[in-house]
């Protein structure tokens, strides 16, 4: 199947009882057994739920994996993955990382004896230099949040394979429409389904997708034992959202390109971060591993003053100031005080995240209205 067909049909079948074309919402906590242990594959909805099963199967197909697992949030997915490690284990990750990921790594798991290294992954020598006998995992986020850096997944996979490490790729910004990390050598691909996959700002959920059966068993055991699972109503909403993923992403990419080019030529804008621009430092990698460049854009105004950035954010009309991203509506944010506030200021500055940086999640509205909004807000 081509991607658009897969988005609509992957993992779902008409309801065998009624013929309903949409997956039913199995709003139940438990299931009748004919005799102890004699059931139809479902015992308790923390372990399995038919609506969740359909979504997990759909996600596995979209990412060219074998198994999908859904969690109550993107952070719960990260939690479930990191729980495979043991005290003393070490993880190498990028220094330009979503604030929530940085927080759970350094404020939760570091207290349980794990060690995390954050480095500039644009140079794979930096990754290689941090590998030691305790290293167990490489954690990649690409495009990164919020600096839109591109990390070479295939290159990281070669390092991981050489040292027998797990490679995890956060594919939230790109979605399987733009790239498939498992095809590039990753062992686990994770998503905050809250964002582009659901696409309508009405659900919170996370996911992990794998090819390996043993890896799936480990993650499924943790998922069931810890119980961080989504409800069937939310699973239904994500299944619904996925059916339009390809058409939404096409428009996000189209609008993203127009906004990036507009900002690039604006006299008051100092820097634009979007991997589709030819002068992006990793444009060549993005061109190789991505099918297009998405709708996430960050920029800095000339003068790099936080007060100026705040004024622009307050003046927006269609770019709504709010947490999150990836919905049909355009959003704007101030990472230093919102999504990345949990990262110490000195660490943000070291990674290149200035206090005046503005992040845009370009929606699917008419581009003329979005450009007019940028014009009146920036001035």
| Farthest-apart Cα atoms in the chain, separation | 73
Among residues 56, 88, 327, the alpha carbon closest in space to that of 195 is found at 327
Q: What share of the chain is helix, strand, coil (3-state, %, to 5)?
A: 40, 15, 45
Among residues 146, 142, 98, 179, the alpha carbon closest in space to that of 332 is found at 146
Residues linked to residue 299 through DSSP beta bridges, in sequence order:
272, 358
Q: What is the C-alpha to C-alpha distance for residues 122 and 8, in angstroms, rounded to an integer? A: 35
Sign of CA dihedral 182, 184, 186, 192: negative
Q: What is the C-alpha to C-alpha distance for residues 369 and 138, in angstroms, rounded to an integer? A: 41
Q: What is the C-alpha to C-alpha distance for residues 151 and 128, in angstroms, rounded to an integer? A: 14
Phi, psi for 276 (deg, rounded to 5): -80, -10
**Residues designated as active site:** 46, 98, 170, 195
SS3 269: strand
Per DSSP, the chain holds a count of helices (H) and strands (E) of: 14, 12
Which residue shows structure tokens 């999504």? 339
């Amino acid at each position: 199947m081509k991607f658009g067909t897969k988005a609509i049909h992957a993992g779902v079948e008409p309801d065998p009882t009624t013929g309903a074309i949409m997956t039913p919402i199995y709003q139940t906590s438990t299931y009748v057994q004919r005799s102890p242990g004699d059931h139809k594959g479902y015992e308790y909805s923390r372990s399995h739920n038919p609506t969740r099963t359909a979504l997990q199967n759909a996600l596995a197909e979209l990412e060219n994996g074998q198994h999908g697992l859904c969690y109550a949030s993107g952070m719960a997915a990260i939690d479930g993955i990191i729980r495979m490690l043991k005290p003393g284990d070490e993880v190498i990750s990028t220094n330009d990382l979503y604030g929530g990921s940085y927080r759970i790594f350094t404020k939760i798991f570091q207290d349980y004896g794990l060690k995390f290294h954050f480095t500039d992954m644009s140079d794979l020598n930096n990754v290689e230099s941090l590998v030691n006998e305790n290293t167990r995992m490489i954690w990649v986020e690409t495009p990164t949040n919020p600096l839109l850096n591109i990390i070479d997944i295939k290159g990281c996979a070669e390092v991981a394979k050489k040292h027998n490490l797990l490679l995890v790729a956060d594919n939230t910004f790109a979605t399987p429409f733009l790239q498939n990390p498992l095809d590039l050598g990753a062992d686990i691909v994770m998503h905050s389904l809250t964002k582009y996959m659901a696409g309508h700002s009405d659900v919170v959920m996370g996911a992990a997708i794998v090819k390996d059966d043993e890896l799936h068993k480990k993650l499924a055991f943790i998922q069931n034992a810890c119980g961080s699972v989504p409800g069937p109503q939310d699973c239904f909403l994500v299944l619904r959202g996925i059916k339009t993923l390809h058409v939404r992403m096409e428009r996000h990419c189209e609008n993203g390109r127009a906004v990036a080019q507009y900002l690039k030529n604006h006299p008051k804008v100092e820097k634009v971060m979007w991997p589709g621009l030819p002068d992006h430092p990793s444009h060549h990698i993005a061109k190789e591993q991505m099918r297009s460049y998405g709708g996430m854009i960050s920029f800095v105004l000339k003068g790099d003053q936080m007060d100026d950035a705040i004024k622009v954010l307050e003046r927006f009309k269609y770019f709504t100031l709010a947490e999150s991203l990836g919905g049909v509506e355009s959003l704007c944010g101030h990472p230093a005080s919102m999504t990345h506030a949990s990262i110490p200021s000195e660490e943000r500055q070291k990674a290149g995240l200035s206090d005046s940086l503005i992040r845009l999640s370009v929606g699917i509205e008419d581009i003329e209205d979005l450009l007019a909004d940028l014009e009146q807000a920036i001035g």
